[in-house]
Structure 1
Amino acid sequence: MTAPLVLDIDGTLTRADGEPGIDPRVFEPLREWPEPVVIATGKAFPFPVALSQFVGLPERVIAENGGIVYAEGEASVVGDRAAAETAVASLRDRGYDLGWGQPDLVNRWRETEIAANLDVPEQPLREVAAEHGLEVVDTGYAYHIKDPEIAKGDGLDAVAELLGLDPSAFVAVGDSENDVSTFGVAGESYAVANADDAALAAADHVTEGVHAAGTLEVLDLLR
């Protein structure tokens, strides 16, 4: 039986063969899915919007780990990056940067948090975040310096309300600790086999396949 979906991007819709980018095998199944599909990601707002447009999905997105929600023509921004910018200034005072080089396209359009490259030492990053009342979330793609009160699960609550659906109607698929809150809100959750320990522990089910193959496995099961 099909159900509304809430899907992460990195590690969940991506290729598992070492090549960058979305696995093209997911395009047609998602475009033809008969229920709403929500893209929920730690990426900045333009990225899931563009993905939805190119796949041919209605633009229903949760971006920046819940900091920005957009669905049914309504957008809400529930955080700002001022505190994260202050934390990053402290990080630079200690001799570190965000590790992206210039131009920093990872953070250029980011509104509610700041992301650091996984090459940045984790301990000083967590120390400066804590000093400013923030948390660091490791998504497997980046370290996200963010408000601890904002999460993807809250974004799912907001999107479900806009769609007139119960959040428990959704099936969630993800791979990282930032998907744990989504798993807690959705009625059923799947961690793809490459997921981190937090996601594996929180999910109702774990797929046999990794990355997009795991997501396609879930779609087949729901059919």
Structure 2
Amino acid sequence: MSRQALVLSMTSEPPLVLDIDGTLTDDAGRLDSRTFPYLQAWNAPVVLATGKAFPYPVTLCHYLGIELTVIAENGGVVLADGQVSYQGDRERAQAAADAFVERGGDLGWDGFDDVNEWRRTEVAVDLSADEDLLRTVAAEFDLEVVDTGYAYHLKTPGVEKGDGLGVVASSLGRSPSEFVAIGDSENDVSTFRAAGTAYAVANADAAARDAADVVVDGSYFDGTASVLGSLGST
């Protein structure tokens, strides 16, 4: 039996692990309004897995009216069954970011830095930054740089969204292989590998497309909606 068939045979609607930016949004980065009816009606757990700081997916869960089950900061923060866990060295990431700036780099966030203000386990840098310098500094601090398509993330090696899915699945009494994952970026690859079936939307980067079981025709939430429509019973 294929992985997809196994997932579908266990429940009419499988549990989901969904990236946010590029997956639940439009091409301008705005949350697609169709996210609300789709996810509110989903008859299985929904996990929001994102590179954004912890408060963003928590807030989105509140407004969607779904359980607070999130993987934030590329696996650095996990909230499941009312318990929060943290992985990753924020102080080391900040030290590397400071060194990057001291050498002439620019984090790229003008004015109030809402990107990093509430971030607990890593530091995000705008894509306009000097990538070569950033990666050089990161290596000196034993950190990695992940390009999510929206920012460079200075993060602790080995902290991944896919590990967060393992924590969430365990808290729900499930296996990660029961989940269907949808995403669009390099930071979704570990989730794709952990989940039972992985879909990349058409706007996905090369790493996500290569790791996915299926690359759908639609981009952004159009692609996600096509997957949810094919899997849902409502």
TM-score, structure 2 length as denominator? Answer: 0.93
Cα deviation, residue 7, structure 1: 0.2
Partner of 1:48 in structure 2?
Answer: 57
- 1:106-121 superposed matches below 5 A: 106-121=115-130
Partner of 2:19 in structure 1?
Answer: 8
Other structure's SS at 1:24 match: coil
Partner of 1:93 in structure 2?
Answer: 102
CA shift digits 1:145-202 (9 cap, x unpaired): 0011100000000000011101100000000000000000000000000000000000
Name whichever of 90-99 and 206-215 sits farther off.
90-99
Partner of 2:221 in structure 1?
Answer: 212
Instruction: Name stretches of at least 5 consecutive residues in structure 1 with no aligned partner.
Output: none
Number of residue pairs aligned between Structure 1 and Structure 2: 221
Structure 2: how far apart are the matches of 1:11 and 1:202? 17
Letter paired with 2:18: L
Partner of 1:151 in structure 2?
Answer: 160
CA shift digits 1:97-147 (9 cap, x unpaired): 210012111000000000000111111111101111111001011000001
Structure 1: how far apart are the matches of 2:63 and 2:130? 35
Structure 1: how far apart are the matches of 2:143 and 2:20? 24
Letter paired with 2:175: D
Structure 1: how far apart are the matches of 2:125 and 2:19? 19
Structure 2: how far apart are the matches of 1:26 and 1:175? 16
Letter paired with 2:26: R
Partner of 1:59 in structure 2?
Answer: 68
Other structure's SS at 2:105 match: coil
Structure 2: how far apart are the matches of 1:218 and 1:88? 38
Cα deviation, residue 72, structure 1: 1.2
CA RMSD of aligned residues (A): 0.8
Instruction: Name stretches of at least 5 consecutive residues in structure 2 with no aligned partner.
Output: 1-11
Partner of 1:171 in structure 2?
Answer: 180
- 1:116-135 superposed matches below 5 A: 116-135=125-144
Structure 2: how far apart are the matches of 1:88 and 1:167? 34
Q: Does 1:136 align with 2:159?
A: no
Which runs of 4 or more aligned residues in structure 1 lie more than 3 Å from their structure 2 counterparts after TM superposition?
A: none
CA contact (8 A) 2:89 2:155 kept: no
Structure 1: how far apart are the matches of 2:79 and 2:13? 23
Other structure's SS at 1:215 match: helix
